[in-house]
Chains A and B, each alone.
Chain A
């Protein structure tokens, strides 16, 4: 027993030293950030149209220099450059479709670039594939395990994947025939995770590849056709997440890179070709990271967390570019957590769904709230659990615990900012 006590002591000492080192690292990081604040912003931060809902060609951060260091510097710089914040009238973004049909909370949605289909997963144990144009259901799939947390549509729109508390990812081929009861057969079940499947996404240019994140602290790249794991990210390897992984996002411009957000408050960047270690770890959040999403240009990514903030990180330098934190309510002392985020196609707007039913539209540059979808007419009654952008950037889809999905479209009369 003496040895146990000794070990405990040693362990405590080691923990203390690790913590002090970590603290020093953080301080060091901050001083580094402080050194060359705005002076280093030599090149123009923004060129081109910051906001374009329709065209999708312009990129707000196209010319952003890598050396944006200081937290909030983006906002200060763009203000000094005479950047006006985006302003919206309450009628500029309107709910043009309500997709009703689920009988449980909607937990996840995905909007495919093909066909304008939306897939949504709900606690009633169903996946529904919607036609966004007609707002009709095209497929309704009853799931074997009703506790579904995530769903994704394949890039070609031929199949859907979903996962949840059954610790497996089920693939359904949308072309297969339903049986007499209208149930769709599972075309493949990807098993191997030891915890719930929290998120899944198809690799954009490869129909047969899928990345899942799980409560077993790992992410896995799957070959859908064979059902085999190609590589496992994290887990036994020391640089992996140390808590449940909540979300993944694949870089659209370089599909070998993806980020994962976890309950260990960090975000990690992975290279699909190198499973053994995380390329980079991003600290900053003070709560579970619930949602990660790559910025449209693929050089940055946004995060949403339980600490009530969204953040924007630079992928390559690892620096935090911006924090989007809301003012605490006067009467409500607990900050609502961020459940899901999405970027507009230009990146100028960041949509963030909160646990209290709000959905803020942030000006990505100036970190100001442009609009709250939760206050608009016809908004959701419950928590907004998931967000998705259409591929052309013309509409946003929100899924909520009030069992409905809504499609919001820009009303189109305004000129691009």
Chain B
């Protein structure tokens, strides 16, 4: 296979055509099948599980050090078993030829055996493995004897690697962890860097050309200009060879992260290099791994690490290791050493400070830490009385006091000599920014979260159905305290409202025409039966004037609007000309005829309930300088002019919880972000393909207007459909959509205020689906005033109706999916009610996350957790 691969050239890349080389090029040795050691076939360098795709087979001459790593890697999985360990899926199998070539390469390079990678942090497997290399000059590798000794050497590493790679497959966690996924802080077992000058892929180079190489950040393999692009591919994580994608970078190379290289600049355009460097800096795999950093003896969580690195004055050059951190003063240092720097104080990271943290022996304590000699010297210079081994309490601004005493004795940094001499004693001085922003650091809500974390921590909640856009708007008011709506959004909404006024007006005008005709017809019906009425000429005048008639001037205007609408160019006329006609619109609206029409609005099915709100303000709204009030925004239909999709993000459960019992949320919660996404239900149908895009949402919030049960609309085929039945169909199609197979659903019954208003006039049974609604209402109460209709259980009729609807939906959901539907009630115009609903949604997400931990004890969760929120 290797021979086949090399015979063809798939590459676009240019061949080397530079000056002739002063040395002979290494040639491929003809393959002798009998010389292939069987064991070598299985010696695949274990690819990390995340590196799903693997490149073309790459013939890579095994240099001594890379052989070392290969064997090192291989030695771990069951070395003595006869069956070769299964090659990691899709990993590059080191072809047999490479071993043979290595025979030569090793002999050739034996003079310059690689020393261990210079890794300042840890002792590694490298040095132990080194002495073994010369034994491998024989192609017939016998692993039995070597692997035994390798195992022993690797045992030393194991104690460092105990807490690694919980996510690796349980069965192979240990051997893989040791072989491929070694922690960045310790010597990575896949490290292949050495002093070998040649390219790891083509073997060329050395001497002068050795400088023009790029090395992998994770394993240190070096590639020449011709090979680097093939070996590293599209560099999604920066300069790493393909097999190293997903592996942490070697700590010794962390400093080089994001620093451009000459080699890449020669090969790629500036923009390309820039992007490679950006992904190198920003991708998740290259970040410092939180579990490698210990602060005050406690391993950091990823969130704590973000807090630490995101603070205004972070510790410089943070590397894996053990640190102590004085939360009060902000002192930061390596464990067993004097302070290294002063970082932002009051960060909630790590455990509590130990007295022996900096291994001092002076007997003087600062914030509970015994200080070192050089610190004592500094204190003396600062004029602090240190007789009698006092215990000091030092604040972030440098003020100090003795433990147990209230009086501030002074400020350490007051004397200029302290700041001058601190560097001499290699002690830190406070950064200016550190003091000012101590309080801000606590308020991590407003901090920018790096991209790689954002994707992991954002929980998406999908909002569907009627009233969803109002909820989005409310959420914006709730969580975006500064500017809930951008200028553009307000402009958009303004346009919507302005053009909607005309839509409302048209509905009214059409209704007026209809009513006028009807009443005229009625009158004609009456008049023949009333021969005693006055003469024809007089009746002819009278007939024209009904309650619904307009004066001619307004009539002309109304005709013109209706004509424009019929022609379909209303959109073109109105947003632009709205100001011009605003007084006319208002006059029209105030006209008794229109008002009479409006009184019969129950017969105008398409007139939204908000119409009068906006028509009352017609003149106001039509002004160009019209500023939307919050109420206007809530009442407006839709969010954007295209009305396709809207979303808003929020975080900070503390803020949203307000004063109400802040559950002492762990640090994790502060980073959790929620994204409410509202999609337009109009485009949804059974086979809706774009719903697949929302397969990563955590919860679908389905909104149904409780007042829809007696409302109808005309669908495209002209059939009259009950809105509630339509909602049910939509609900079914979304619940059954393959994308949401395992999704949790929350049903929000909105517009409960409207339900209350009309439930007494219009029975719930007017909807076919609810025909078996038989509220238990005691007879005597029913006979009394309908206002206080109460069932024997004390629930009012609207409450029972809402509950009944919820039960209907729950049963439907149970039938469709065999799971439980969460239900809540909300009045979208009431901010508090929306806040509670969103909070409930968040609780569901949290609960579903923790359920596996608790065991699926459904009974713990109350059946009806939220009360009626009217």
Q: Report the interface size for chain A: residues with CB under 8 A from the other chain.
A: 58
Check B866 for interface membership: any CB of A closer than 8 A: no
A103 touches B455 (CB 8 A): yes
Check A96 for interface membership: any CB of B closer than 8 A: yes
Q: A100-B53, A136-B234, A215-B683 are in contact. Are A4 and B720 (CB under 8 A)?
A: yes
Which residue of chain B lies nearest to A339 when distances are taken between CB atoms in the complex? B689
Q: A149-B690, A196-B683 are in contact. Are A139 and B271 (CB under 8 A)?
A: yes
Most B-side CB within 10 Å, residue of A134, A290, A378, A411: A134
**Within the assembled complex, what's the spacing in Å between the Cα atoms of A211 and B642?**
18
B644 touches A167 (CB 8 A): yes
Q: Secondary structure of the A side of the interface?
A: loop
A167 touches B645 (CB 8 A): yes
Residues of chain A lying within 8 A (CB to CB) of residue B278: 140, 182
A195 touches B683 (CB 8 A): yes
Binding site for A on B (CB under 8 A): 4, 7-13, 52-56, 90, 229, 233-236, 242, 245, 267-269, 271-272, 275-276, 278-279, 455, 568, 641-645, 679, 683, 687, 689-690, 693, 717-720
Residues of chain A lying within 8 A (CB to CB) of residue B52: 381, 402
Residues of chain A lying within 8 A (CB to CB) of residue B13: 133-134
**Shortest beta-carbon contacts, A-B, top 5:** A167-B644, A167-B642, A100-B236, A96-B10, A136-B272
Contact of A196 among B275, B641, B690, B718 (CB under 8 A): B690
Residues of chain A lying within 8 A (CB to CB) of residue B267: 134
Residues of chain A lying within 8 A (CB to CB) of residue B235: 136
Which residue of chain A lies nearest to B275 when distances are taken between CB atoms in the complex? A137
Shortest distance from the beta carbon of A308 to any chain B beta carbon, whole Å: 14
Residues of chain B lying within 8 A (CB to CB) of residue A182: 278
B236 touches A8 (CB 8 A): no
A134 touches B229 (CB 8 A): yes
Q: A147-B645, A167-B643 are in contact. Are A378 and B10 (CB under 8 A)?
A: no
A98 touches B645 (CB 8 A): no
Most B-side CB within 10 Å, residue of A134, A136, A147, A166: A136
A133 touches B233 (CB 8 A): no
Shortest distance from the beta carbon of B516 to any chain A beta carbon, whole Å: 21
**Within the assembled complex, what's the spacing in Å between the Cα atoms of A131 and B12?**
11
Beyond known contacts A103-B455, A182-B278, A404-B53: 20 more, CB 8 A cutoff: A11-B717, A100-B236, A107-B693, A131-B268, A133-B13, A134-B13, A135-B234, A136-B234, A137-B279, A140-B278, A166-B645, A167-B644, A195-B644, A195-B683, A196-B644, A215-B683, A244-B683, A381-B52, A411-B8, A412-B9
Residues of chain B lying within 8 A (CB to CB) of residue A76: none
B643 touches A136 (CB 8 A): no
Contact of B236 among A7, A101, A381, A402 (CB under 8 A): A101
Shortest distance from the beta carbon of A10 to any chain B beta carbon, whole Å: 10
Contact of B8 among A7, A168, A412 (CB under 8 A): A412
B644 touches A166 (CB 8 A): yes
**Within the assembled complex, what's the spacing in Å between the Cα atoms of A167 and B682?**
13
Contact of A99 among B7, B56, B234, B717 (CB under 8 A): B234
A100 touches B683 (CB 8 A): no
B229 touches A135 (CB 8 A): yes
Which residue of chain B lies nearest to A95 when distances are taken between CB atoms in the complex? B56
B233 touches A263 (CB 8 A): no
**Within the assembled complex, what's the spacing in Å between the Cα atoms of A166 and B643?**
8
Shortest distance from the beta carbon of B472 to any chain A beta carbon, whole Å: 14
Residues of chain A lying within 8 A (CB to CB) of residue B11: 96
**Within the assembled complex, what's the spacing in Å between the Cα atoms of A122 and B687?**
22
Shortest distance from the beta carbon of A196 to any chain B beta carbon, whole Å: 6
Shortest distance from the beta carbon of B716 to any chain A beta carbon, whole Å: 9
Return 14 A-B CB contacts under 8 Å, by A number.
A96-B12, A98-B242, A135-B234, A137-B279, A138-B271, A147-B690, A165-B645, A165-B679, A166-B644, A166-B645, A196-B683, A236-B568, A306-B687, A404-B53
B276 touches A137 (CB 8 A): yes
Residues of chain A lying within 8 A (CB to CB) of residue B568: 236
Q: A91-B4, A182-B278, A263-B687 are in contact. Are A11 and B645 (CB under 8 A)?
A: no
Most A-side CB within 10 Å, residue of B90, B278, B644: B644
Q: A100-B233, A134-B272, A147-B645 are in contact. Are A94 and B719 (CB under 8 A)?
A: no
A168 touches B234 (CB 8 A): no
Shortest distance from the beta carbon of A105 to any chain B beta carbon, whole Å: 8
Mark each residue of chain A from 81 to 113: 1 if its CB lies under 8 Å from any CB of chain B, else 0: 000000000010011111111010001000000
Residues of chain B lying within 8 A (CB to CB) of residue A167: 642-645
Residues of chain A lying within 8 A (CB to CB) of residue B56: 94-96, 378
Q: A94-B10, A124-B455 are in contact. Are A191 and B641 (CB under 8 A)?
A: yes
Which residue of chain A lies nearest to B492 when distances are taken between CB atoms in the complex? A191
A101 touches B642 (CB 8 A): no
B275 touches A136 (CB 8 A): yes
**Within the assembled complex, what's the spacing in Å between the Cα atoms of A120 and B792?**
64
A101 touches B55 (CB 8 A): no
Chain A contacts with B in 2-26, Cβ cutoff 8 A: 4, 7-8, 11
Which residue of chain A lies nearest to B269 when distances are taken between CB atoms in the complex? A138
Contact of B718 among A7, A124, A195 (CB under 8 A): A7
Contact of A378 among B55, B271, B643, B693 (CB under 8 A): B55
Residues of chain B lying within 8 A (CB to CB) of residue A91: 4
A194 touches B642 (CB 8 A): yes
Contact of B53 among A98, A193, A290, A306 (CB under 8 A): A98
Contact of B233 among A135, A191, A244, A402 (CB under 8 A): A135
Which residue of chain B lies nearest to A142 when distances are taken between CB atoms in the complex? B451
**Within the assembled complex, what's the spacing in Å between the Cα atoms of A131 and B275?**
12
Residues of chain B lying within 8 A (CB to CB) of residue A147: 645, 690, 693
Residues of chain B lying within 8 A (CB to CB) of residue A98: 53, 55, 233-234, 242
Check A226 for interface membership: any CB of B closer than 8 A: no
Check A275 for interface membership: any CB of B closer than 8 A: no
Residues of chain A lying within 8 A (CB to CB) of residue B693: 107, 123, 147, 149, 165
**Within the assembled complex, what's the spacing in Å between the Cα atoms of A91 and B245?**
26
Which residue of chain A lies nearest to B682 when distances are taken between CB atoms in the complex? A195
Most A-side CB within 10 Å, residue of B7, B267, B568, B642: B642
Check A358 for interface membership: any CB of B closer than 8 A: no
Shortest distance from the beta carbon of B459 to any chain A beta carbon, whole Å: 15
Contact of A101 among B90, B229, B234 (CB under 8 A): B234
